[in-house]
Amino acid sequence: MDELWLIGIGTGSPDHLTRAGEAAIRGADTILIPRKGAGKSDLAELREDLCRDLLGEGGAARIVHFDIPNRDVSEGYLKGVDAWHDAIAEAWVGALRGRASGKVALLVWGDPSLYDSTLRIASRLDPAPRIKVIPGITALQALTAAHGVPLNDLNAPVTITTGRRLRDEGWPAGAEALAVMLDGETSFQSLDPDGLHIWWGAFLGMENEVLVQGPLKNVAQEITETRARARAAHGWIMDTYLLKRRD
């Protein structure tokens, strides 16, 4: 590939694409779309729908699929993820091998630079293509907009972390607000809920959007049950949440 364009698509809603993102999809020669197995086919279909809406049935860009390899963390999380990223980079190259790919686009959930590894995977390509990042609406923007709340309180910082860190290490020392990404195990359940308020959302900006907010001790169970039902219904879920201390 000559160029690799990483296009942020928010949580999958067409409204989360910027005009720059739309122009990049129209200008790409090849669009790489990952497949994560039959149970998560909606993820590929959503990307394909975005492309069809912008390109029409006779669009110039060629869609090429690749299969996401399995991740093995039996020898440690970081080592497993590092090997997994190598395998994904190889999957990109394998999908494009023998094709005149030119300008290649990847549609990235959330944002290419916010708790996403696409840039790290792209750095493993050899020879290295020119990389261009086109941000979209991030999951955090979509979450706070859906709830109608600011990300931070007046003159207060926000810590962005993962569910894994929250579960293993607890509430970070000195933090006043936490934006939690990539939490597949509702790790807020590991916290002392007293004095905490949560704003949680899934499928943000989409027709099946789900929102819950309130004191954590009152809504933790509701979020856990709602999340489980939504995941069972769709085969996948993309959710995030904001936690703040409240008197």
Buried b (16+ CB within 10 A) or exposed e, 23-55: ebbeebbbbbbbeeeeeeeebbebbeebbeebb
Token pair for 116: 């996403």
Do 126 and 184 lie in one domain? The reply is no
Compute the C-alpha angle 143/147/148, nearest 5°.
110
With 70 as the cut, is the pLDDT of residue 58 above it?
A: no
- Whole-angstrom CA distances from 16 to 57, 113, 157 are 22, 15, 25
- Domain containing 98 equals 3-137
pTM of the complete model beyond 0.75: yes
Q: Could you give the angle at which helices 19-27 and 41-55 cross, rounded to 10 degrees?
A: 90
DSSP string, 101-132: --EEEEEESB-TTSS--HHHHHTT-SSPPEEE
Contact between residue 161 and residue 172 where contact means Cβ atoms under 8 Å apart: yes
Average pLDDT, stretch 152-160?
92
Q: 3-class SS at 66?
A: strand
Do 87 and 112 lie in one domain? The reply is yes
Contact between residue 104 and residue 28 where contact means Cβ atoms under 8 Å apart: yes
pLDDT band (50, 70, 90) for residue 110: confident
- Quote the pLDDT of residue 65: 92
Average pLDDT, stretch 198-216?
95
Do 192 and 241 lie in one domain? The reply is yes
User: Cα–Cα distance between 157 and 151 in angstroms, integer?
Assistant: 9
Largest CA distance in the chain: 61
User: Cα–Cα distance between 90 and 205 in angstroms, integer?
Assistant: 33
Do 96 and 13 lie in one domain? The reply is yes
User: Cα–Cα distance between 80 and 150 in angstroms, integer?
Assistant: 36
Q: Which of 88, 120, 137 is the last residue of a domain?
A: 137
Token pair for 148: 């109608």
Total of domains in the chain: 2
CA dihedral (210, 158, 131, 10) in degrees, to 10, reads 10
Do 150 and 229 lie in one domain? The reply is yes
pLDDT band (50, 70, 90) for residue 180: very high
Tens-place pLDDT, residues 27-49: 999 999 998 876 666 778 888 88
Q: Which of 119, 137, 155 is the last residue of a domain?
A: 137
Contact between residue 41 and residue 35 where contact means Cβ atoms under 8 Å apart: yes
Tens-place pLDDT, residues 116-143: 899 999 999 998 999 999 999 998 999 9
What CATH number did the domain enclosing 194 receive? 3.30.950.10
Q: 3-class SS at 181?
A: strand
- Quote the pLDDT of residue 12: 80
- Whole-angstrom CA distances from 140 to 61, 81, 109, 170, 192 are 30, 24, 12, 21, 24
Q: Which of 122, 137, 152 is the last residue of a domain?
A: 137
User: Cα–Cα distance between 49 and 27 in angstroms, integer?
Assistant: 17
User: Cα–Cα distance between 224 and 221 in angstroms, integer?
Assistant: 5
User: Cα–Cα distance between 199 and 58 in angstroms, integer?
Assistant: 42
